[in-house]
């Protein structure tokens, strides 16, 4: 873990726009993702949440700037992102254990030649951060959706990133699994030098877990603490009669 802890470092998005096929799918996004906070991105399907994630990951071209800054606006080197994808739609029949999966990301030694003791320890260490060390020898295809999510979280946290980028799954994880996952994420945010952005596809937990909520519909409609965002006009317009009714 890095020596200092700070509340002020942030990832600064300024005028971020993405154009695809002649259409502007993201328009002038301005927001901060603060270190030590859980920022949650909400919005309906097609609002551009996944596009924003891909822009942050550098997978698609965008205009505007995404910078990692300290409290005085000074740029802090390369932004290291730990990413937990939404789907892990891999071939469940693949002969790969959790250890193989983690080791393939941690070392250059080809996994088919075996996994060294130190790499195994590193993998166990990573899993213990998310209380999943007992999964180490399980075939990856035999893990439940919630377990896979925690395994990926363990991977995303090693080495410790500046930004933890979590794309919450739409399906495949039950409510209990999701709660365990979010509890783990919430526990992380306190003790580490880490900013967290969670893309949430259902609103049920957002109010309870988020520090900062960003409502997206191709651009940022409203952002702030959960309560003001949830009672805003924009929120009511976007979610009328759908998820709000379920709350």
Partner 1 sequence: MNAVYAFLDAVLPLEALQFSFMKNAFLAILLLTPLLGLLGTMAVNQQMAFFSDALGHSALTGIGLGIILGIENDLVSMLIFGILWAVLISLIKHAGFSSADTVISVFSSTSVALGLLILSRGGGFAKYSSLLIGDILAVTPADILYLLIALVAGVGIWAVMYNGLLLTSINSSLARSRGVKTRLYEMAFSVLVAVAVMLAIRWVGVMLINALLILPAASARNIAKTSRAHAVFSVLFALVSGIAGLFSSFWWNTSAGAAIILYAAAIYVITLILRRFVRG
Task: Give whichever of 13 and 238 is closer to partner 1, judged by the CB atom.
Answer: 13
Binding letters toward partner 1, positions 43-72, x by CB under 8 A: -----------x--x-x-------------
Does residue 92 sit in helix, strand or coil?
coil
CB 150 within 8 A of CB 130: yes
Question: 18 is written with which tokens?
Answer: 């993405």
Contact map string, positions 149 to 168, toward partner 1, x by CB under 8 A:
---x--x---------x---
Of these, 46, 114, 191, 228, which contacts partner 1 (CB under 8 A)?
114
Contact 200, 178 (CB under 8 A): no
Contact by Cβ (8 Å): 37, 212: yes
Distance CA 158, CA 126 (A): 6
Tell the smallest beta-carbon distance from residue 81 to partner 1 (Å): 6
Which is nearer to partner 1, 132 or 238 (by Cβ)?
A: 132
> Which stretch in 8-16, 68-76, 82-90, 207-215 sits in contact with partner 1 by CB under 8 A?
82-90
Judged by CB under 8 A, which of 23, 78, 93, 231 binds partner 1? Answer: 93
Residue 7: strand, helix, or coil: coil
Beta bridge partners of 61: none
Cα–Cα dist 171/61, whole Å: 28
> Smaller CB distance to partner 1: residue 83 or 122?
83
Q: Which stretch binds partner 1 (CB under 8 A): 23-31, 68-76, 103-111, 200-208?
A: 103-111
Nearest alpha-carbon partner for 36 in 8, 2, 77: 8
| Least distance from partner 1 to the Cβ atom of residue 4, Å | 25
Token code pair at residue 6: 């700070």
Determine if 103 is a binding residue for partner 1 (CB under 8 A).
yes
Is the separation of the CB atoms in 192 and 156 below 8 Å?
Answer: no
Neighbour-count burial for 155-181, b at 16+ CB within 10 Å, e otherwise: bbbbebbbbbbbbbbeeebeeebbbbb
Q: Tell me if 171 contacts partner 1 by CB under 8 A.
A: no
Whole-number minimum distance, CB 117 to partner 1, in Å?
15
Between 61 and 95, whose beta carbon lies closer to partner 1?
95
91 binds partner 1 (CB under 8 A): yes
Binding footprint of partner 1 on the chain (CB under 8 A) = 54, 57, 59, 81-83, 85, 87-91, 93-97, 99-101, 103-105, 107-115, 139-140, 152, 155, 165
């Amino acid at each position: 873990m890095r020596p200092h802890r700070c509340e002020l470092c942030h990832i600064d998005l300024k005028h971020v726009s993405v154009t695809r096929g002649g259409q502007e799918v993201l328009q002038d996004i301005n927001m901060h993702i603060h270190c030590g906070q859980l920022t949650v991105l909400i919005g309906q399907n097609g609002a551009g949440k996944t596009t924003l994630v891909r822009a942050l990951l550098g997978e698609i071209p965008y205009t505007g700037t995404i910078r990692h800054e300290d409290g005085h606006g000074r740029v802090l080197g390369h932004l290291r992102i730990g990413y937990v994808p939404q789907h892990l739609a891999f071939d469940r029949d693949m002969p790969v254990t959790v250890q193989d999966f983690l080791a393939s990301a941690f070392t250059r030694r080809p996994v088919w030649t075996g996994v060294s003791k130190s790499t195994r320890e590193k993998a166990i260490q990573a899993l213990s951060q998310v209380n999943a060390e007992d999964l180490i020898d399980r075939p990856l295809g035999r893990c439940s959706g919630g377990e896979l999510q925690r395994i990926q979280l363990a991977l995303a946290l090693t080495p410790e990133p500046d930004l933890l980028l979590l794309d919450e799954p739409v399906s495949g994880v039950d409510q209990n699994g999701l709660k365990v996952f979010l509890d783990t994420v919430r526990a992380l945010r306190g003790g580490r030098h880490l900013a967290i952005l969670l893309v949430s596809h259902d609103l049920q937990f957002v109010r309870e877990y988020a520090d900062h909520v960003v409502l997206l519909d191709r651009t940022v409609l409203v952002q702030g603490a959960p309560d003001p965002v949830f009672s805003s006009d924009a929120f009511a317009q976007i979610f009328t009669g759908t998820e709000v009714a379920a709350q």
